[in-house]
Structure 1
Amino acid sequence: MDTSDGTRLEVDEVPSPQFRTQADIAERLDRIQSKRKDLEHVLRALDAEEIRLRRLWNSFLPVNDLPIELLVKVFQLDAGDTEPVRRLPAYMRWVRLILVCTYWREVACATPTLWSAFAVAGSAPARLDLCLARSGTTGALHISLTSPSPDMVEQVATHSERLQAVSIYHPPPMSLSHLLERPMPILHELIVTGIDKTLHVRVTPTHYPVLRSLDLCNVTIPPDYSIYIGLRRLSLSACGLTLTTNGGQMVLFDALRVTTRLESLSISKMLRAFPQVIAPGAPPIVLPYLSELAVLDELPEDVSAFLAPLRLSPQCSVTLRAGPNHVLEEWEEVIMSDMLPRNRAEVLPTLSSASAVELIMKDRDFALRGSSAAASGEDRGSIECSLISRSLNRWEIFLEVGLRELIEVFRGAPVKQLRVTGDHRMESARSCWSEVFEAFPMLDTVELSGWGAGTPMWIGLDMASGEHLSQDSDDEGGEQASIACPGLRTVVVDGRSMMTSAKFFEAMLECLRRRVGHAAPLETLRLKLSPKQKELEELKARYSPYLQGLVGNVSYELYE
């Protein structure tokens, strides 16, 4: 239909007779809005009915037939409630379980023990309040705070009688003092990491009667020796020392003397700033229960001085890591044995009882590892010594130095297993290998890894055997049946960068023939190499027939 102004008006757009005014239209719109509201009420009712039916459906599922106690146990297993406070995750991962259904959420929110161990990062008072509220009013608390606000620390302080484990990283100084001044009768573990050493940690045994683990970093540590008496675990990193109650500077050795039940000790970046002095004639520091000792990021000479008065059990696992405080120009400026005291046999019994030893020389790492086992096969103790230097990043090429240090550190130990990682290309290392086999005659397994080929090792083994034969010759010039490492049964060459060549096979065959002639053949020879070596198949075809008659089991493996 055409209008008077010439535009076209569709039939549906023509106002019906009942919509003559705007009031009529407004009334109609109100009716539509009212119907919409009625429909929304109906939809909400339908949604509520659907939720009710789904909950009813879920209630018949087998998992929701579990008693509440078992369901809570499932939550606790996911929460890792046995983890120490220093390992608490920043977010409680188990919380995702409350999204499964309403029933699970209700059970979780109504179980205070699930909310008794939590971590809060940053200024988040609402999250802290929620966790504390849901943890109830009884039961032990494990709390970890990172860069909290003063109000958050004060809030935690109000629960001091329930605190069993607390870790605070970068706390505000004044509020931390208020917290630590509160009595904490059940506190077992305390961790404090400061921004600088001006933060003083003042704790007294009367306020912390059952404290068993103390971990301090970048703070000034407590001068009262009595706080260390009951400790089982002590970790001090980059801490400052202060005056004792007697007016003298605190001495770590004096603190260690009272820790007769200590099981774990870690010292890092402490010894250079505060050298420890033992009084002449002072008795040694016996730590019979210590199972873990770590002295990290110190100078070699400081590590040696710190270890000298200690007496450790053969079951103790020891980790020593040191490095020079200057740019290295010559390799000889720092060696592994510099960090060991002269009385190393008294301090570190594992050195003389190690049955498995490993030498690692790669990049910036130079490490020696040793472990010993009892007759039952159980581990008795271990030691790892490592030198780290940012200025010297090609330590693998000094394999000869490493082999000599291996002998120096573990001389006299009943070593049966030896693994060496480094650069095996240096022919001059053959004499060092000969010394290794002379020093450890009980070897039964040797494994090579790293770069180059193991030719020097075979030549060194043959050289050591030659020395044995010349020394054991009878009066008529004949050779007696004596050979280096007569119990050697397994050799493994394992590495993506390990190479084989005709020279490697020739040196190996010559050594193996001598051993077979003296009734000391290998039982297993494993060559695990890179598939990029195209000549490997040719070498296998040429030498395998000879090896089959000299070794019980020869295997070739390729890295994929």
Structure 2
Amino acid sequence: MLFKSRRASDSQMTCALSSESTLVPTSVLTTSLYWRPSTPQALRQQIARRIAQPGAKEEVAKAIANERLEFKTLWNRSLPINRLPYELLVYIFTFLHPTVTVGPYGVLTSSREISQPTLELMATCRLWRDVIVDTPAFWSAVVPECWNTKWTELCLSRSRSAPIEVWVRLRPDRPKFACPPYPSVHCIRRLHFSFVAHTDDSGKGWLFQLLCGTQVPAMPALEVLELETTHDERAQTQGKTPNDVNLTRQRLPCLRSLTLTGIPAPRDAALYADLHTLSLTSCSHSLSIDQFLDALALCTRLKTLCLHETLDRLSEDWKQRDPVPRRPLIHFPHLDSLEVSQHGSVCTSRFLSHIHVRASAQLEISTRDDTRVSGHRDAGASIFFLAGGMVPPNHAATLAPLATVTNVEVDTRQDYYSGVYLAWLRVSRNTGAAATDTTVTASMSMNMALADPACRAARRGWVRELVELLGRAPGVTALTLDNTGSHPDSVADWAAVFRAFPRLERLSVRSGGDPDGVVGMEHMFLGLHAAGSPAALACQHLREVGVFGLVTTTVYEAIRTCIVYRGRQGVVLEELDVDPTPCWVYVAPQDLQAAQSYSPLTVMLFRSRRSSKLAMDSESTVERMSILTTSQYWRQSTPQALRQQIARRIAQPGAKEEVAKAISNERLQFKTLWNHSPPINRLPYELLVYIFTLLHPCIGCYGILTSLRGISQPNLDLMATCRLWRDVIVDTPALWSVIVPEHRNAKWTELCLARSRSAPIEVWAQVLPWGRPDHLRLACGPPYPLVHRIRSLYFAVDIGLPDVGVSRLDWPFRLLFDTQVPVMPALEKLDLAIIYNTRPRTRGRSPDDVDLSRQRLPCLRSLTLSGIFATQDPALYADLRTLTLTTCSHSLSINQFLDALALCTRLETLCLHDTLERLSGDWAQRDPGPVLRRPVIHFPRLNSLEISKHSPICTSRFLAHIHVQASVQLEISTRSRAVLDDNVTTLAPLATVNDLWVKASGADVASLQISRTSENVVTARMNMNSDSDTTGTGTGTGNAAASPINRNPDRDGGGRSPVRALVEVLGHAPVTELALTCYWPQWEPRCPQCPTSSVADWAALFRAFPRLDRLDVSCLAGSRGELEIEHMFLGLHAASTSVSDSEPARSAETGESSPAPAPALALGARAPVACPHLRSVTVYAGGSTAVYEAVRTCIGYRGRQGVVLDLLDLGRKGRDYLRSRYSSAVCRACMRDIKGYAGRVKDVFMDEVDWEAAEAGRQVRAGE
């Protein structure tokens, strides 16, 4: 909102405000678009009335003017755009922030273009200005220019310590620039420096001092470096030259991307080690070929490699190298793109023979040769003329992408000029929506000079070279040949092509304009015919064939011979497209009638100018149009026809005014019919009602009901669209069934009741102690004679204020309990919520007087009560599907409440929150689970059970009286730090748990949650605390087991470890994934009584979970966490090596259990191990030498028994702690011993292990 005119009137300001709505598409009309234009008009009318009052003085007018400014400020702050979160505004402004780009001829984006959008956004309002100024990312791009030094300093100051990008280009017209201060070089993340000839030496001196000077500190944050210069700059300089640039890893430790143009390549081989992107253009070298290859061999993380006019500048000649190298190939395991261009064909071929390109990489190779390529091949070399002689002889071992090609495009056009010979080879990859939709396209050229007789003779072998080059790619499905007739090959060569590509589906060929083109096309079809045999045809999946160019009678004869034979064998084409160019030979269409009969979807387009007939398939024109339906034709034609008809009738001689008026009326009728003709107005009535129902707003959220304006606004918007939609909404009672009675809108309530007719209605009422006085009073509500239509009733009232709280309960009490009001036979859902901070002293009715009965609510299916006295009629519970009680008092005893629940045979959802302890009895005096004196309550249809905010003893005693099926989703939580009782272990859902997530910490709440996914996977989430109080009083001593249960708090020193508790709770569950998190309080290291899981505990866990597939354990860094991880691996080893359940021996030093010795086995036999399906182990904690020794003992033993992990991740916590305290050599030795027994290993000392070496080691051990 930019108000640029100071003299703008009020109407102009209103237009400026309403113009913001034009930025939003008209199809998305929200509520804010309606009250935006109306509110300022109402304010102006109010101010005008106050000024027009008699006796108004200048002071009053001035006060009103100030009030208007306040209204304007409040109005600006109330706009939705000014109430967006800070992060969202930054995210939106990022899209408007331009990026620095290098345009044509190396022109950079100026600082004015970069700062202009930022200044415009800052000038909008004060909020936006503060957001932009306080965000360093908007000031990170620095383009120093001599005329804008202050702007550069401002950007550096506002960017603070954030990483910055510096873009510099020195030109003769602007030789100077504002050099950023050297103290800020540690913040430079990207540096782009470009300079041309005849520029000032000060800028170059700053660059050389920055990169190579000893007085300037190093650049630790620099990740991207781009240096460019022209070729003549190397010869025309008086001061510093590009040859003086010497980049080292010592000054650039974090460099990841290096782009050099006209700059000597770095001599420091260590600089190449961590590069992800390397681009060298016209770079000279002081290295030899072997030294350059050795430097590239260090680039193990390289993803992009671009070499332009660089290889031939090395200090040796590539032509003296052997075609097949004797040194090992250079592997780039992460390479995604390789581009080698502007080199000679021999130089490119020799270089590619030294590297291995992985199959998933994109390849682009091009060459420029000023000399002709000889027509013969060198001895021992396999130079392909098809790709310009750039493919190395060992292409099968070096260019792996050629084996994955699916589409082939070959361009064999002739070069009629004696200029530079150009050739290319590209392999690109295009991934579709699905992972299997990947298309790999290989495009290549053979563009040679026509005047060279040797090249002309060699061109005839390009088809054989195609088979030799791509014969290892059996997945080729499309073949496109351009101008292939210029190099005709024999029929046998073409037959070899179709045998090499058996999965070919699409074939497109274009011939040249000379006689050789006709011969080449004829040989192609004859080769397709000769490639097959009567038993099996070649390319049986071929469904599309396209022929373009010069076509003669002999070509048609070859097509007929091939297609007719394949059709008789049962292989029918779907499309045969023959598009001949104008030629001197008349082609008769009868020659293709035989072939056309075997191709049902043939598109034959004869465009010859001398043809007497133009045979054209009319259906093909419809298929090639861009999704034009029938409605788009008559929409455009019908109004025009109507206007023409009316114009003709008006233009008739003798027409009078009556006729013209009649015609105008008829035109209105035509317009009405036209409005009814769009497809949206011809939808079925039921479909329109369904669409309008989706636009109906939600009634409430977080206990706050939607206002009446918010509910009615969508209906009013739809009704204002057209007359048809208004009639549909008015005639649909379901769209008026939601009633929100408000005192200030009684007429709207009556209108909704009238239009809902006899349909069931939903009544939503809420009274809160805040708001305007009329909000504190309900409307008279629906007339009591209409209560038989109420299907859903929601009533919430806050009676926290004693003086007005009781009066608000009169309406629901009369509706539910008054005998003078008729029964509510249609009520299916009842939700009553009484909210009070302190129970008021009521003189009349109170929440305790609520007593629901089945006699008045015979069809009740869902009951939700909050703060209401629970019903005393047990018959009301019989037909309930959903029962939710929150903070409800009871006059029933425990047995009476259980008897009422026993009647709920159809119950699907049961939620009890802070309710069980309010019964008239003590749960602690009830019998525990194993000695119940009454039968267990069964809920055959129960899907969800939630019990929360109770004491543990109360929860466990209640669970002992009910039977929970295995398919029920369960959620149990306590309100104290006490643990639950033993009855939790008897729950049936615990026996079906597959994924287990456990958190052992000093939390204040113990919880258990069991859920089931759509894939029928049962997940259990448990929160273990550290209290031993089993009475529910919350007076724990803090030394009990970290478990949601506690059978014997006096055993094992006052508590059990989390692992032992898990075995007792879920010992019979088919657990496949286990995630354990142990976060003790800060005072835990000083608490010796807090138990730690021993080796025996972990061994018992692995024996109890034999199907364990994945294990994740996370502990805090420290001695306790390291001891827990050590015991885990020793327990896994003990569970695998023990032959009985005997207790392992105790260690004399630590007192902990040590693994039992492995049993003696026969020669060649393998002992069974615990958890044989375990494939992934992830540990997040600090590590020590003892931990790594335990890992080597466990994993090594399991690997020797044939059980190999897929992933072993030792986490990344405590890197600095380990390096300062422990010796990394011992840890590396342990990892080196076990890397053959895990498919992938990660730890704090090694990112990844060499998988190929690990595989070789496994094969050697298997042979031994």
TM-score (norm 1): 0.73
Moved more, 370-379 or 289-298: 370-379
What amino acid maps onto 2:474 in structure 1? Answer: P
Residue 40 of structure 1 corresponds to which residue in structure 2? none
The structural deviation recorded for 1:408 is 3.5
What amino acid maps onto 2:361 in structure 1? Answer: C
Distance 2:484 2:325 in 1: 47
What amino acid maps onto 2:184 in structure 1? Answer: H
- Aligned mate of 1:273, from 295, 302, 313: 313
**3-state SS of 1:491 partner:** strand
Moved more, 224-233 or 367-376: 367-376
- Structure 1 residues 240 and 55, CA, compared in 2 at 3 Å: closer, same or farther? farther
Residue 102 of structure 1 corresponds to which residue in structure 2? 124
For the 8 Å contact 1:314–1:349, the answer to whether it is kept is yes
- Is the counterpart of residue 191 in structure 1 residue 226 in structure 2? yes
Residue 551 of structure 1 corresponds to which residue in structure 2? 599
For the 8 Å contact 1:373–1:379, the answer to whether it is kept is yes
For the 8 Å contact 1:229–1:258, the answer to whether it is kept is yes
- Is the counterpart of residue 296 in structure 1 residue 338 in structure 2? no
- Structure 1 residues 238 and 503, CA, compared in 2 at 3 Å: closer, same or farther? same
**3-state SS of 2:300 partner:** coil
Residue 112 of structure 1 corresponds to which residue in structure 2? 136
Structure 1, residues 231-277: CA drift from partner, whole Å, max 9, x if none? 1111111111136xxxx898210111111111111111112221466
Residue 136 of structure 1 corresponds to which residue in structure 2? 159
For the 8 Å contact 2:474–2:500, the answer to whether it is kept is no
The structural deviation recorded for 1:339 is 1.4
Structure 1, residues 461-511: CA drift from partner, whole Å, max 9, x if none? 442255446xx5xxxxxxx333332332221346xxx35565554432222
What amino acid maps onto 1:296 in structure 2? Answer: S
- Is the counterpart of residue 90 in structure 1 residue 130 in structure 2? no
Distance 1:114 1:419 in 2: 50
For the 8 Å contact 2:407–2:440, the answer to whether it is kept is no
Distance 1:489 1:284 in 2: 41
Distance 1:188 1:361 in 2: 43
Distance 1:352 1:229 in 2: 29
**3-state SS of 1:102 partner:** coil
For the 8 Å contact 1:407–1:439, the answer to whether it is kept is yes
Structure 1, residues 266-297: CA drift from partner, whole Å, max 9, x if none? 11111222146699853321211111111111
- Aligned mate of 1:406, from 458, 463, 466: 466
- Is the counterpart of residue 517 in structure 1 residue 568 in structure 2? yes
For the 8 Å contact 2:102–2:108, the answer to whether it is kept is no
For the 8 Å contact 1:315–1:380, the answer to whether it is kept is no
For the 8 Å contact 1:424–1:450, the answer to whether it is kept is yes
What amino acid maps onto 2:569 in structure 1? Answer: H
What amino acid maps onto 1:270 in structure 2? Answer: T
For the 8 Å contact 1:465–1:483, the answer to whether it is kept is no
What amino acid maps onto 2:97 in structure 1? Answer: A
For the 8 Å contact 2:409–2:442, the answer to whether it is kept is no
Aligned residues: 495
| Greater strand fraction, Structure 1 or Structure 2 | 1
Structure 1, residues 323-375: CA drift from partner, whole Å, max 9, x if none? 2133x497779822621222111101222342321112346754444568999
Distance 1:411 1:356 in 2: 13
For the 8 Å contact 1:430–1:456, the answer to whether it is kept is no
Q: Where do 1:279-428 residues align within 5 Å?
A: 282-326=327-371, 328=372, 335=385, 336=387, 338-362=389-413, 366-370=423-427, 377=436, 379=438, 400=460, 402-423=462-483, 426=486, 428=488
Q: Where do 1:194-213 residues align within 5 Å?
A: 194-195=229-230, 196-197=233-234, 198-199=241-242, 200-213=244-257
- Structure 1 residues 281 and 550, CA, compared in 2 at 3 Å: closer, same or farther? closer
The structural deviation recorded for 1:426 is 4.9
Moved more, 188-197 or 399-408: 399-408
Structure 1, residues 184-219: CA drift from partner, whole Å, max 9, x if none? 111111111123454033222222221111111101
What amino acid maps onto 1:180 in structure 2? Answer: L
TM-score (norm 2): 0.35
Residue 675 of structure 2 corresponds to which residue in structure 1? none
- Structure 1 residues 46 and 280, CA, compared in 2 at 3 Å: closer, same or farther? closer
Distance 1:388 1:142 in 2: 43
Distance 2:577 2:175 in 1: 62
Distance 1:501 1:45 in 2: 79
Distance 1:449 1:47 in 2: 67
Structure 1, residues 497-543: CA drift from partner, whole Å, max 9, x if none? x355655544322221011122322223245688x89999x977x56
The structural deviation recorded for 1:545 is 5.2
What amino acid maps onto 1:298 in structure 2? Answer: H
Residue 523 of structure 2 corresponds to which residue in structure 1? 460
Moved more, 158-167 or 197-206: 197-206
The structural deviation recorded for 1:134 is 6.0
Residue 497 of structure 2 corresponds to which residue in structure 1? 436
- Structure 1 residues 459 and 519, CA, compared in 2 at 3 Å: closer, same or farther? farther
- Is the counterpart of residue 180 in structure 1 residue 211 in structure 2? yes
The structural deviation recorded for 1:82 is 11
- Structure 1 residues 226 and 330, CA, compared in 2 at 3 Å: closer, same or farther? closer
Structure 1, residues 377-422: CA drift from partner, whole Å, max 9, x if none? 25486665557789999x9999856544423422342152344343
- Is the counterpart of residue 163 in structure 1 residue 203 in structure 2? no
- Structure 1 residues 322 and 280, CA, compared in 2 at 3 Å: closer, same or farther? closer
Distance 2:82 2:448 in 1: 58
Structure 1, residues 156-208: CA drift from partner, whole Å, max 9, x if none? 64421111111111174322111213411111111111234540332222222
Q: Where do 1:119-130 residues align within 5 Å?
A: 119=143, 124-126=147-149, 129=152
The structural deviation recorded for 1:300 is 0.8
Structure 1 unaligned spans of 5+: 1-43, 473-479
The structural deviation recorded for 1:320 is 1.1
What is the alpha-carbon root mean square deviation over aligned residues?
4.7
- Structure 1 residues 89 and 492, CA, compared in 2 at 3 Å: closer, same or farther? farther
For the 8 Å contact 1:524–1:552, the answer to whether it is kept is yes
- Structure 1 residues 45 and 513, CA, compared in 2 at 3 Å: closer, same or farther? closer
- Is the counterpart of residue 217 in structure 1 residue 236 in structure 2? no
Residue 147 of structure 1 corresponds to which residue in structure 2? 170
**3-state SS of 2:602 partner:** strand
Moved more, 308-317 or 140-149: 140-149
Residue 283 of structure 2 corresponds to which residue in structure 1? 239
- Structure 1 residues 78 and 97, CA, compared in 2 at 3 Å: closer, same or farther? same
The structural deviation recorded for 1:449 is 4.6
The structural deviation recorded for 1:319 is 1.2
Distance 1:93 1:501 in 2: 61
Structure 2 unaligned spans of 5+: 14-67, 197-202, 235-240, 378-383, 416-420, 606-619, 626-1264
For the 8 Å contact 2:478–2:507, the answer to whether it is kept is yes
For the 8 Å contact 1:318–1:384, the answer to whether it is kept is no
For the 8 Å contact 2:388–2:445, the answer to whether it is kept is no
Q: Where do 1:23-38 residues align within 5 Å?
A: none
Distance 1:206 1:293 in 2: 28
For the 8 Å contact 1:204–1:227, the answer to whether it is kept is yes
Structure 1, residues 123-175: CA drift from partner, whole Å, max 9, x if none? 55437616634642220112222217786473164421111111111174322
Q: Whose radius of gyration is greater, 1 or 2?
A: 2
Distance 2:297 2:460 in 1: 40
Distance 1:396 1:58 in 2: 78
For the 8 Å contact 1:294–1:320, the answer to whether it is kept is yes
- Structure 1 residues 239 and 518, CA, compared in 2 at 3 Å: closer, same or farther? same
Residue 535 of structure 2 corresponds to which residue in structure 1? 481
- Is the counterpart of residue 76 in structure 1 residue 94 in structure 2? yes
